[in-house]
Chains A and B, each alone.
Chain A
Amino acid sequence: MDLSFISVVPVTYGIFLLFAVIAIASAFLVVSVRSVMHSALFLAVFLLSVAAMFFVFDADFLGIVQILLYVGGVIVLILFAVMLTSRVQSHLLQQTNEQKFPAIIVCVLLFIMLSYAILTSGLQGFEKSVLQGGITGDVGRLLLTVYVLPFEVASVVLLAALIGAMAIVGKKDE
């Protein structure tokens, strides 16, 4: 085997492909298993494989944020909601409504449209990217200098979401 031109791109492409296959498989299982609890656990697998893909793409800060917020926060929220709202129901209940066939048609049409858009946009293949040694410092600097307005607006949005969620769920005293 001719290994004389081993550059970074083919090796990381193989690793990316592995995690991409895991992600696609677990995403497909999320939308097709019968029990919502299994769906939530497959969603956790999916989010972890997405975080692994972020690490492959040199976005280590984003991968850690993904694990903290999504796997540690959103999955916990979803598991709480699933456990609070599922009575003892038979697992033979169908989890998909009767619109499976139109949904498949819609998805195939969207796939054709998206692939046409991607293939005719004139993108070249891989370029060799500048390998930074991790991006956390750059991201921190950018968040506080160039992107400080979205940063502050995001904190206001989070505050509004928090208050809204509590207002929706809070019981009135009757």
Chain B
Amino acid sequence: MLFLIGVYGVLTRRNAIGILMAIEIMFNSANINLVAFNKFLNLENSIGIIFPIFIITLAAAETAVGLALILSIYRKLKSVYVEKMDLLKW
């Protein structure tokens, strides 16, 4: 359910930073799922906790790189709205 709210946000937000925030929602919903399964299924080696740790790490790194991209695009285009970023369209 949270994952779907994230998908809806990615598909409809015009602001590029809003899209990044919706991606964060998706990451966190997957994390909750993994931790819940870890508690109620008693997996060996506690992988249901190790895997979300790496997900959090990689999601933070990816958000940082995404924000760097958005900032450099803003410098060029002076706008954060994704309708203006259409250089690759035919």
B5 touches A165 (CB 8 A): no
Q: How large is the interface on A (under 10, 10 to 19, 20 to 34, 35 or more residues)?
A: 35 or more
B64 touches A65 (CB 8 A): no
Q: Is the interface of B mostly helix, strand, loop or mixed?
A: helix
CA distance A82 to B70 in the complex (A): 10
Chain B residues contacting A119 (CB-CB under 8 Å) are none
A31 touches B35 (CB 8 A): no
With A59-B49, A127-B41, A154-B54 known as contacts, the answer to whether A46 contacts B14 (CB < 8 A) is no
Chain A residues contacting B64 (CB-CB under 8 Å) are 74, 77, 161-162, 165
B18 touches A142 (CB 8 A): no
Q: Which of A58, A78, A135 contacts B21 (CB 8 A)?
A: A78
Give the most central of B1, B28, B41: most A CB within 10 Å: B28
A139-151 interface bits toward B, Cβ cutoff 8 Å, 1 = contact, 0 = none: 1001100110010
Q: Closest A-chain residue to B56, C-beta based?
A: A69
CA distance A168 to B36 in the complex (A): 37
Q: How large is the interface on B (under 10, 10 to 19, 20 to 34, 35 or more residues)?
A: 35 or more
Q: Which of A82, A99, A150, A154 contacts B12 (CB 8 A)?
A: A99
Contacts of B31-85 to chain A: CB distance below 8 A: 31-32, 35-36, 38-42, 45-46, 49-50, 52-54, 56-65, 67-72, 74, 80, 82-83
B38 touches A59 (CB 8 A): yes
Contacts of A58-96 to chain B: CB distance below 8 A: 58-59, 61-62, 65-66, 69-70, 73-74, 77-78, 80-82, 84-86, 94-96
Q: Closest A-chain residue to B27, C-beta based?
A: A70
With A65-B56, A169-B68 known as contacts, the answer to whether A111 contacts B4 (CB < 8 A) is yes
Q: Which of A23, A58, A84 contacts B2 (CB 8 A)?
A: A23
Chain A residues contacting B36 (CB-CB under 8 Å) are 57
Chain B residues contacting A127 (CB-CB under 8 Å) are 40-42
Contacts of A7-36 to chain B: CB distance below 8 A: 23-24, 27-28, 30-31, 36
Residue pairs across A and B with Cβ atoms less than 8 A apart, 22 shown, are A39-B18, A43-B24, A43-B25, A46-B28, A59-B35, A59-B49, A62-B35, A66-B31, A69-B56, A74-B59, A82-B17, A85-B80, A97-B13, A107-B4, A110-B4, A127-B42, A135-B46, A142-B46, A150-B54, A157-B57, A161-B62, A161-B65
